[in-house]
Amino acid sequence: MTKQHLRDIVFRYFLFLLGIFTISLGIAFSTSSGLGTTPLASLPYTLSLGFAPSMGTFMMLLNITCFLIQLALLRKRFPKAWVLQLPAAVIFGWMTDFSNYLLSWFEPANYGMQLACLAAGIVLVAAGLSIEVSANTIMLSVDGLVKAIVMVTEKNFGKIKVGLDVTLVTLSIVCSFVLIGGIEGIREGTVLAALLVGTLSRVFTPLITGQLPKREKTKVLPTNFAAQDASD
């Protein structure tokens, strides 16, 4: 491995970490808006309202669960490089809690401020996803599960992704009724995030990729299938 190749790998993993941190900030903004969090964060948020562990802890557990389901689905077909999803799950969980802490002081005073906060969250999640895609390294386990299902069923990535989002939101609603007696964390913002994040990411990804040094565009690890989510 040459020094240049090593620098490329380090740079790409830095981009990946920057991407998932940006996603976590977007989730924090969406949650703080009070208009509903993103589909990805809906179940961890609801569980954190009913149990002691934090939202970040439940986010980590969600990704670890998705990782274990991948193992069960793919078995011998499971790519060894995907094991890196596990430390990514822990880091993303920590980032989720840290981002929520950074915005813990913020309470929108009116509906207009809530909408502005929600808009910031959606843009940040889309930008973070685009940065993660541009890094072309590993993926969060939720996206890894989508790819595993695609490998087994040979169905469209985008449709499977939508199906998983709907599943997470549905589970969140059920848990919310059981734990709290009503719906928490699922509102118009959740629907807007589901509709707009993918569209914005398709706009941001080529812009971000185009700004990378030419040598950084060469493939490092064939593990990131999140780009398909941004294109389907």
| Number of domains making up the chain | 1
Q: Residue 197 contacts by C-beta under 8 Å, 6 or more apart in sequence? A: 38, 122, 125, 126, 129
Report yes or no on 227 lying in a domain: no
Tens of pLDDT, residue by residue over 68-79, are 999 999 999 999
pLDDT of residue 71: 95
CA 192 to mean position of chain CA atoms: 16
192: in domain: yes
pLDDT for residue 112: 95
* Distance (Å, whole) CA 217 – CA 230: 17
Q: In 10 A of CB 215, how many CB atoms?
A: 11
In a domain, 92, yes or no: yes
Q: Is there a contact between 169 and 39 (Cβ–Cβ < 8 Å)?
A: yes
**Domain-embedded: residue 228:** no
**101 in any annotated domain:** yes
Structure tokens at 141: 């386990």
Q: Does a structural domain hold residue 122?
A: yes
- For residue 114, give both structure tokens: 């809530």
**34-90 per-position pLDDT tens digit:** 999 999 999 999 999 999 899 999 999 999 999 999 999 999 999 998 999 999 999
Q: Give the domain range for residue 129.
A: 3-216
Phi, psi angle pair for 228, to nearest 5°? -65, -30
**Cβ contact 227:136 at 8 Å:** yes
User: Residue 68: inside a domain, yes or no?
Assistant: yes
| pTM, rounded to two decimals | 0.88
How many distinct helices (H) and strands (E) make up the chain?
Answer: 9, 0
